[in-house]
Structure 1
Amino acid sequence: MTTRTLYLLCSAAPPVFDVAHAIEDAQTRGWDVCLGLTPSAAHWLAGSLDGLAALTGHPVRWQYKLPGEPDVWPSADALLFAPATFNSVNAWALGLTDRFVVGVAAEAIGKGTPVVAMPCTNAALAAHPAFEQSLAVLRGTGVELLYGEGGFVPGPADQDESPHFPWQLALDAVDRAGTAMA
Structure 2
Amino acid sequence: MSDQPDKPFLQIVVCAAGVAADVGKLITAAQERRWDVGVIATPQGLGFLDVEVVGTQTGRPVRSAWRSPGEPRPTRPADAIAVAPASFNTVNKWAAGISDNLALGVLCEAPAMDIPVAVLPYLNSAQAAHPAYRQSLERLRGMGVLIGSYEPHRPKAGGGADRYRWEEALELLAPKLSAPA
User: What are the Cα deviations for residues 76-115 of structure 1, in whole angstroms up to 9, with x where unaligned?
Assistant: 1001111110000000001111121111111111111011
| Cα distance in 1 between the residues matched to 2:53 and 2:72 | 23
In structure 2, the partner of 1:25 is: 29
Q: Indicate how the Cα distance of structure 1 residues 67 and 8 shifts in structure 2: closer, same or farther if over 3 A, else same.
A: same
| Cα distance in 2 between the residues matched to 1:181 and 1:107 | 22
Deviation at 1:54, TM superposition (A): 1.7
1:10–1:36 contact (8 Å) kept in structure 2? yes
State which drifts further: 159-168 or 25-34: 159-168
Q: Structure 2: which amino acid aligns with 1:75?
A: P
1:7–1:34 contact (8 Å) kept in structure 2? yes
In the superposition, the TM-score normalised over structure 2's length comes to: 0.91
Q: Structure 2: which amino acid aligns with 1:114?
A: P
In structure 2, stretches of 5+ residues that fail to align are 1-5
Which SS does the other structure have where 1:167 is aligned? coil
Q: Indicate how the Cα distance of structure 1 residues 20 and 134 shifts in structure 2: closer, same or farther if over 3 A, else same.
A: same
Match of 1:36 among 23, 37, 40: 40
User: What are the Cα deviations for residues 42-63 of structure 1, in whole angstroms up to 9, with x where unaligned?
Assistant: 1222xx2122112111221011
In structure 1, stretches of 5+ residues that fail to align are none
For 1:73-112, what aligned pairs fall within 5 Å after superposition?
Answer: 73-112=75-114
In structure 2, the partner of 1:165 is: 164
State which drifts further: 152-161 or 4-13: 152-161
In the superposition, the TM-score normalised over structure 1's length comes to: 0.91
Seq. identity, %:
38
Q: Structure 2: which amino acid aligns with 1:67?
A: P
Q: Deviation above 6 Å: which 4+ runs of structure 1?
A: none
Aligned length: 175
| Cα distance in 2 between the residues matched to 1:179 and 1:36 | 25
More helix by share: 1
